[in-house]
Amino acid sequence: MSTGEGAGAAGTGPMESGAAGTGPVDTGSVLLHATDVGKRFGGIAALTDVNLVVNTHEVVGLVGPNGAGKTTFFNCLLGILRPDSGIVTFRGIDISRMPTHKRARMGIGRTFQRLELFTGMTVREHLLVTERSRRGTGSLWKDLLNQGGPTDDEHAAAQETIDLVGLGAEADKPVESLSLGRNRIVELARALQLRPSLLLLDEPSSGLDRKETHALVDVLHGIQQSQGTAVLLVEHDLEMVVRAVSRLYVLDLGRLLTSGPVEEVMADPNVREAYLGSMAETLSPTRGDS
């Protein structure tokens, strides 16, 4: 429980400083480095030797057709799935064997493609719980002495996140009563509450209309500007990808097709064939199933 504890209360400046205090940042600007990650489900090779780097402060895109293995890759990064092979380092530390909650506490926040919310809680409660677990200050003994409730500090931190993502009006409503679009924002807020230095976003815009998507991109930009959070973005909405990211990885059938600056990748004929061609129809704004 040593990591992340030093992070002070509200207003300690850029979130980077809070989370980065414990780990060495001596790998230059490389934040996350996945080497040769492989994962099979029975006969299906969901991931084969995927290499990916995310630098600090950077917004990187990860795209690919359905079933390419993007979600599986996220799960491997966070330890929700155990990859069969490969190494993941975060801030220079090998996290391949770490349990999920420790990776989260090191500063990796994520959202889910299929909503994974704490049903029954309000938005604020989501954030208060996450704030508490991030601090790692909860213990059964404190609870038994009735010292387990949210502190003023934690309330302030939660309120800060609520204001940041603009959930003020819904803060005290149970998440079940919110729309899918708002719930995506709740997930984002919950991930941000970890004060991550890396955000993994799994199709944050699915189920959002165009206006909401734009607002989301603005929020992301804001966070990235003010807090220097790096983002790895999985997204089918290429319009959003182009607006948001600087570098792009393309995954197909579990293999990396290409990577590089957005314009270069978009111009690549292989990518056009494997992915963009099939994306033509899904680019329409009415897409919003999930």
Q: Which chain residues interact with ligand ATP by CB under 6 A?
A: 41, 44, 46, 64, 66-72, 113
Q: How far is the CB of 240 from another protein (least distance, A)?
A: 23
91 binds another protein (CB under 8 A): no
Contact predicate 202/74, CB 8 Å: yes
Q: How far is the CB of 274 from ligand ATP (least distance, A)?
A: 13
Calpha distance 74→79 (Å, rounded): 8
Calpha distance 279→237 (Å, rounded): 9
Stretches 13-21, 22-30, 125-133, 264-272: which one binds another protein (CB under 8 A)? 125-133
CA atoms within 13 A on the CB side of 135: 18
Stretches 11-19, 105-113, 237-245, 282-290: which one binds another protein (CB under 8 A)? 105-113
- The entry of Mg ion, ligand ATP, another protein, none near residue 104 (CB within 5 to 8 angstroms by kind) is another protein
- The entry of ligand ATP, another protein, Mg ion, none near residue 134 (CB within 5 to 8 angstroms by kind) is another protein
The DSSP bridge pattern shows strands 247-252 and 255-261 to be antiparallel
Interface positions, 135-174, toward another protein (CB under 8 A): 136-140, 142-150, 172-174
Selected binder of another protein within 18, 83, 109, 204 (CB under 8 A): 109
Round the CA-based radius of gyration of the chain to a whole number and report it.
19
Calpha distance 240→233 (Å, rounded): 10
CA 132 from centre of chain? 19
Q: How far is the CB of 38 from ligand ATP (least distance, A)?
A: 12
Contact predicate 232/259, CB 8 Å: no
User: Which bin fits 197, alpha (ψ -120 to 50), beta or left (φ > 0)?
Assistant: alpha
Structure tokens at 37: 């990650």
Closest CA to 154 of 8, 264, 2: 8
Residues in contact with Mg ion by CB under 5 A are: 71, 113
Stretches 59-67, 191-199, 223-231, 267-275: which one binds another protein (CB under 8 A)? 191-199
Select 44 or 156, whichever has its Cβ closest to ligand ATP.
44
Select 136 or 228, whichever has its Cβ closest to another protein.
136
CA atoms within 13 A on the CB side of 5: 6
Interacting residues toward another protein by CB under 8 A: 4, 78, 80, 99-102, 104-105, 109-110, 112, 116-122, 124-126, 128-130, 132-134, 136-140, 142-150, 172-174, 176-177, 187, 190-191, 193-194
